[in-house]
């Protein structure tokens, strides 16, 4: 045994957008008849790492597990000459969620149940939350806890639609369908959806093929001649990139279990935020603008205002990632509110106004009141940064606080189990958990081998060597 083991391992992955990509490296200890525990996790955000070079080699400390030490990682980013629209630069793993307080089925005068499904996850809108507004069926989704139950985790976003099936009492099967393909959504962008509600006898053909209003009206869909539009489905939604708590339902084998454990460890250590945003390093911005000026004597001799105008004009060819001042796409305190290359800048892209400083805390008395108030404020800020923005209504009943406390207890219990504390510090308890999970995974694997009960997913490569 050695205290400095060397493992030569490499992998390749295709990254659509390096500005939002996150690489998570997990080091585990191999155990016999136990789940391999996490020694440490290393989350790497490419936009923070690739500041001045496309190849970086560094030492990283192991944290978030039962071990300690350091690991040396080399990362190389090879660019691909392509230009993709914003909706094609998103993550493949994420969550589809509703943002609006209501879902309207226009011209659909039925108290029906809406069953939603996509990529292995399901949800439903029951008739209990439905009321009629003239000829429109309106489903109330204002309750945040109910809206959270409608979150649909997605594993393969670019080949998954969200299928809405309308079921009427007394009728077997779905009476109508509505389909939205997730490839049309942009990450972290709230989108107003207005899609048709269709009736057809070939519901399977409709939901298993790429059918939109454009190709349907162009008569490019054979076998759906009886397709009829009977209404419109309207709501507001968002695709949130990355893993969250709802992806626990996708844990069906050891690989998916270890992936979800890695995300939990990163969240518990506070090194991974709930949302993933697009960021461009300032040094990369400056080097790009400098590269546009190098080799052009005309721009070198031009005044700064004229040079800036040329840089901005040339920067448009980079899909808005460079060229304009990033301040032009933020609000008054520096938060991003628009996407470069797609949205119009909120301020002057050449000389935007400076970021306003946040108001300072009021100074307290000299007997320590100021220190205590700032300490409580800092604690609240830290809790909010780790667990996301608070959604607790101050006028709500104790049920929400009880649910929140049970959630926290569940997270703490899983952290103890992951770090071999509590009951998991004893080897028989870890062996029992291993046997339980392996039995469950084996039964699922056996069910897939039974004809008619398995899925159609074929083998996938472990390393993406070509794009």
Cα-flanking dihedrals φ and ψ of residue 445, to 5°? -65, -35
Between CA 312 and CA 320, with CA 315 as vertex, the angle to 5 degrees is 110
Using CB atoms within 10 Å of the CB of residue 260, give its burial: 0 to 12 exposed, 13 to 18 middle, 19+ buried.
middle
Between CA 118 and CA 128, with CA 122 as vertex, the angle to 5 degrees is 130
118 three-state secondary structure: strand
Residues 430, 32: Cα–Cα separation, whole Å: 11
Report the half-sphere exposure of 68 (CA within 13 A, side-chain side). 0
Residues 72, 222: Cα–Cα separation, whole Å: 56
The reply to whether the predicted model has a pTM over 0.75 is: no
Q: Find the DSSP H helices in 294-394.
A: 297-301, 304-315, 369-387
User: What's residue 94's pLDDT?
Assistant: 92
Tokens linked to 266: 């990163």
Contact 90, 182 (CB under 8 A): no
Q: Are strands 191-199 and 228-241 parallel, antiparallel or unpaired?
A: antiparallel
User: What's residue 415's pLDDT?
Assistant: 77
Nearest to 7 by CA among 24, 20, 26, 21: 26
Handedness of CA 414, 419, 423, 427 (dihedral sign): positive
158 three-state secondary structure: helix
Domain with CATH 2.60.40.150 in the chain: 94-241
Residue ranges, the chain, pLDDT below 50: 312-323, 358-399, 465-467
User: What's residue 390's pLDDT?
Assistant: 38
User: What's residue 337's pLDDT?
Assistant: 75
DSSP codes, 38-92: EEEEEEEEHHHH-SS-SEEEEEEE-EESS---EEEEEEE---------GGGSS-S
Helix (H), strand (E) at residue 415: helix 398-418
Q: How high is the mean pLDDT of the chain?
A: 77
Contact 132, 109 (CB under 8 A): yes
The distance from CA 351 to its chain's CA centroid, rounded to whole angstroms, is 33
Helix (H), strand (E) at residue 130: strand 130-133
Tokens linked to 106: 């226009």
User: What's residue 235's pLDDT?
Assistant: 94
Contact 444, 252 (CB under 8 A): yes
- For the domain with range 94-241, which CATH number is right: 1.10.1840.10, 2.20.25.160, 1.10.10.10, 2.60.40.150? 2.60.40.150
Please name every residue paired with 23 in a beta bridge, in sequence order, or none if there are none: 44
User: What's residue 124's pLDDT?
Assistant: 92
Tokens linked to 198: 């269709």
User: What's residue 433's pLDDT?
Assistant: 87
Residues 141, 143: Cα–Cα separation, whole Å: 6
User: What's residue 106's pLDDT?
Assistant: 93
Sort residue 72 into left (φ over 0), alpha (ψ -120 to 50) or beta.
Answer: beta
Tokens linked to 113: 């149940």
């Amino acid at each position: 045994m050695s205290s400095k083991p060397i493992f030569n391992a490499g992998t390749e992955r295709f990254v659509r957008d390096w500005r939002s990509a996150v690489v998570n490296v997990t080091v585990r200890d191999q155990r016999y008849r136990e789940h391999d525990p996490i020694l440490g996790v290393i989350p790497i955000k490419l936009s923070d790492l690739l500041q001045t070079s496309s190849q970086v080699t560094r030492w990283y400390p192991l944290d978030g597990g039962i071990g300690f030490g350091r690991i040396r990682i080399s990362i190389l980013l090879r660019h691909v000459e392509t230009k993709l629209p914003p909706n094609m630069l998103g993550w493949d793993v994420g969550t589809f969620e509703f943002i609006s307080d209501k879902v309207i089925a226009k011209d659909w005068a039925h108290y029906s149940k809406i069953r939603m499904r996509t990529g292995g996850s399901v949800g439903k809108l029951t008739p209990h939350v439905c009321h009629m507004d003239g000829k429109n069926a309106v489903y109330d989704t204002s309750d945040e806890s109910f809206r959270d139950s409608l979150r649909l985790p997605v594993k393969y976003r670019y080949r998954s639609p969200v299928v809405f099936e309308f079921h009427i009492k007394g009728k077997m099967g779905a009476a109508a369908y509505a389909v939205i393909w997730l490839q049309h959504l942009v990450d972290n962008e709230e989108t107003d959806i207005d899609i048709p509600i269709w009736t057809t006898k070939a519901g399977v053909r409709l939901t298993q093929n790429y059918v939109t209003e454009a190709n349907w009206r162009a008569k490019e869909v054979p076998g759906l001649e009886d397709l009829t539009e009977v209404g419109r489905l309207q709501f507001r939604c968002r695709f949130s990139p990355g893993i969250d708590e709802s992806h626990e339902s996708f844990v069906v084998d050891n690989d998916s279990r270890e992936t979800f454990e890695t995300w939990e460890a990163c969240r518990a250590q506070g090194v991974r935020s709930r949302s993933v945003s697009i960021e461009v390093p300032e040094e990369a911005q400056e080097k790009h603008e400098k590269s546009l000026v190098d080799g052009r004597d005309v721009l070198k001799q031009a005044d700064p205002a004229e040079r800036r105008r040329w840089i901005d004009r040339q920067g448009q060819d980079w899909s808005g990632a460079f060229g304009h001042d990033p301040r032009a796409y933020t609000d008054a305190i520096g938060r991003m509110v628009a996407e470069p290359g797609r949205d119009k800048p909120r301020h002057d892209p050449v000389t935007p106004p400076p970021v306003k400083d946040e108001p300072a805390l009021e100074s307290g008395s000299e007997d320590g009141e100021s220190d205590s108030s700032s300490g409580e404020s800092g604690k609240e800020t830290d809790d909010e940064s780790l667990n996301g923005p608070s959604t607790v209504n101050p006028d709500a009943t104790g049920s929400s606080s009880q649910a929140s406390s049970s959630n926290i207890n569940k997270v703490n219990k899983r952290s103890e189990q992951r770090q071999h504390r509590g009951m998991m510090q004893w080897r028989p308890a870890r062996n029992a958990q291993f046997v339980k999970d392996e039995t469950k995974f084996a039964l699922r694997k056996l069910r897939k081998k039974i004809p008619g009960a398995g899925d159609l997913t074929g083998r996938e490569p472990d390393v993406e060597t070509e794009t």
